[in-house]
Structure 1
Amino acid sequence: MTTQLQQSSSENTDFLTVMIPADLGGARLDQAAARLFSDYSRERLKEWIQQGHLLVDGKVLRPKDRIVGGEYLTLQVVLEVETEAQAQEMPLNILYEDDHILVLDKPAGLVVHPGAGNPDGTLLNALLHHCPDLKNIPRAGLVHRIDKDTSGLLVVAKTLPAQTYLVAELSEKNVYREYEAVVQGLLVSGGTIDAPIARHPHERVKMAVLNGGKPAVTHYRVIKRYRSHTHVRVELETGRTHQIRVHFAHKGYPLLGDPVYAGRPRLPKGASPELVSALQQFPRQALHARRLSLVHPDTGEQMSFESPLPQDLIDLLACLNQDVKTS
């Protein structure tokens, strides 16, 4: 049986009505709602049921109550303020934007979310200024993140349905994310790092490879080897906190410039003063989110984006190239 939604709007509130098909007879209300209103997460639908915003034939039921089939569900889509963060005018390098998503290129040094030590001046604050309606979307539509000192691409959901879709796509590993990095040491060839990651047991600002951690898989290929460093292309299969940084440090090839996981920079024998300065003074982990591919949540179009390497990484690679030529 084909299920058809009817939609009406009043004062910026959407009302959706649908008849429960016979094949959902006997299902829990929250399970049926998740199937029929798939633009919204099951958790949010459960909240709306409990708050009386999702009715069954005009009646308030509990999420666990069973439905028969043939009843009418009426959903009042209630958007509430999800963040207390303040909007702040800041420059954003937006590569693409429509009514559903935006894709931006984040510079190194910009924190993504407010937190301890960074109450404002973050990407989230800038997004709220650019698009005030993002206050009604959890985390202002940020469905994934990159570290403060990592540069590159991020996608932002501008609606709840787009957010639900993108979170599911990330969970199902359907969003392609490719990075470029410079690691210390000489990698012989590409490979895969499959090692679980969890919070470090003693240093709370760090993550670590630990038994019992969340599954984490990183694929990498060698772009170029230098005398004591390797330029690599990295593909994320999962998206754990600090995943690339932790995995390469665990393997013995920490990212150049990483203040948390790398330790002192490794200098090739007989390095020129220029290279020594470049390696010792590189101000951040040498990591850039280079490519992002996804299926658009509304049109179904396959979309791909690319961010050129920032100037600090271009200059670093130039120094490493020059060292190879003159050694």
Structure 2
Amino acid sequence: MKRSETFTTVLTEAHAGSRIDLVLSQVFPEISRNQIQNLIKAKKVLMNGKVPKPRDIVEGGEEVSLEIEIDEGVSAPEPQAIALDILYEDDDLLIVNKSAGMVVHPGAGNPNNTLMNALLYHYPPLKDLERAGIVHRLDKETSGALVIAKNEETAEALQKQFAERTVTRVYQALLVGELISGRTVDAFIGRNPYNRKKMMITEYDEELEENPGKEAITHIRVLERFREHTLVECHLETGRTHQIRVHMQHINLPIVGDPDYGSRLKIPRKFTHHAENVLRGFRRQALHAYQVGFIHPKTGEDVLATAPLPKDMTTLIDAIREDHELYVKDHF
């Protein structure tokens, strides 16, 4: 059985100049741009009380409402006593270090043991907030820092900082291949029409007279180079779904272990047995949300949280580093 629920939001100046369908797909990341367009056609979207056209340009300050059908067969997430690695907490927000393998939101196939279940147990009032106060996301197999608001005012202020791209987001990743120096990847990303669970680089569409994807910018800094791998730091200027994973694939330096955007397993020649065993046993993308920073909505002070690399990644990096040092010693 389904019921209709209406969600309302006020667009900010950060959205000005963009199409309404694009903006709403960013404000409501769980709804695709195509779904937004279908909602507009079905007159389920109102902007300042009127049904907009998908191409209408946002000026900022508009009140927008969406009527969405919700399957009542899906029960509300239950609190569960799951341990959290808390990096920072006060009365208004908390930052957790999410472990790899943990799903952020309950969904089909993952009704329990998610981060949301853990958060509802840790701080029950989160049940009254949309998405339990979670203001951004990490993929299931990506570990690291994630921000949660404890009240509506803080959630709105943090969402505004994310929309205005003032939040510092730094990831560390181990890449397959050698990156000689840092670089910036500026390439639009959109959903793959042949596999809706995956994203892809999109190009300008002459018929639409625009790029159907979303602007995506990743700044890369080399931390350490090995024989056939590179440890990098990725600074996100935008925060698109699978952004780093897609951008690394785009420059032919996929993330180690990435099941969707990676290459088949490559074992370097004369790799040590230990390094080979560790690499073969690494079963996820080697990607970690290392730092997140923003202005505290209530105090106005800088907040910067650092999530140490998890043991599986440090073990992998140490093994590849040891192999590299032995190779250099034997060949140079």
Normalising by structure 1, report the TM-score: 0.74
Note the alpha carbon deviations across 1:48-85, whole angstroms, 9 max, x for none: xxxxxxxxxxxxxxx669xxxxxxxxxxxxxxxxx821
- Asked if the contact 2:103/2:114 (under 8 Å) is kept, the reply is yes
SS for the counterpart of 1:206 is strand
Post-superposition offset of 1:116? 2.1
Using the alignment, how far apart are the partners of 1:89 and 1:289 within structure 2?
Answer: 24
Residue 266 (structure 1) aligns with: 266
Post-superposition offset of 1:310? 1.0
Residue 257 (structure 1) aligns with: 257
Residue 170 (structure 2) aligns with: 178
SS for the counterpart of 1:271 is coil
The runs of at least 4 aligned residues of structure 1 exceeding 3 Å deviation read none
Equivalent residue letter for 1:117: G
Using the alignment, how far apart are the partners of 1:168 and 1:86 within structure 2?
Answer: 28
In percent, how many aligned pairs have the same letter?
46
Using the alignment, how far apart are the partners of 2:281 and 2:120 within structure 1?
Answer: 34
Equivalent residue letter for 2:141: D
Using the alignment, how far apart are the partners of 2:261 and 2:292 within structure 1?
Answer: 25
Post-superposition offset of 1:276? 1.4
Using the alignment, how far apart are the partners of 1:252 and 1:117 within structure 2?
Answer: 32
SS for the counterpart of 2:318 is helix
Larger Rg: 1
Using the alignment, how far apart are the partners of 1:323 and 1:95 within structure 2?
Answer: 33
Question: What does 1:85-234 align with in structure 2 at a 5 Å threshold?
Answer: 85-211=77-203, 212-234=212-234
Q: Give the length in aligned residue pairs.
A: 256
Using the alignment, how far apart are the partners of 1:279 and 1:261 within structure 2?
Answer: 17
Note the alpha carbon deviations across 1:124-180, whole angstroms, 9 max, x for none: 111111111111111000000111111110110110010100000000011101011
Post-superposition offset of 1:99? 1.6
SS for the counterpart of 2:190 is strand
- Asked if the contact 2:81/2:121 (under 8 Å) is kept, the reply is yes
Using the alignment, how far apart are the partners of 1:228 and 1:97 within structure 2?
Answer: 40
Unmatched 5+ stretches in structure 2: 1-8, 14-26, 28-47, 51-74, 204-211, 328-332
Note the alpha carbon deviations across 1:201-258, whole angstroms, 9 max, x for none: 2122211111221111100101111111000011011111111111101110110011
Using the alignment, how far apart are the partners of 1:321 and 1:156 within structure 2?
Answer: 35
Pairing 1:326–2:322 present: no
Are the structure 2 counterparts of residues 64 and 202 from structure 1 closer, same or farther at C-alpha, using a change threshold of 3 Å?
A: closer
- Asked if the contact 1:100/1:157 (under 8 Å) is kept, the reply is yes
Equivalent residue letter for 2:243: Q
Aligned Cα root-mean-square deviation (Å): 2.3
Equivalent residue letter for 1:108: A
Unmatched 5+ stretches in structure 1: 1-29, 36-42, 44-62, 66-82
Using the alignment, how far apart are the partners of 1:125 and 1:325 within structure 2?
Answer: 44
- Asked if the contact 2:176/2:256 (under 8 Å) is kept, the reply is yes
Deviates more, 1:279-288 or 1:167-176: 279-288
Using the alignment, how far apart are the partners of 1:203 and 1:179 within structure 2?
Answer: 26
Using the alignment, how far apart are the partners of 1:244 and 1:178 within structure 2?
Answer: 11
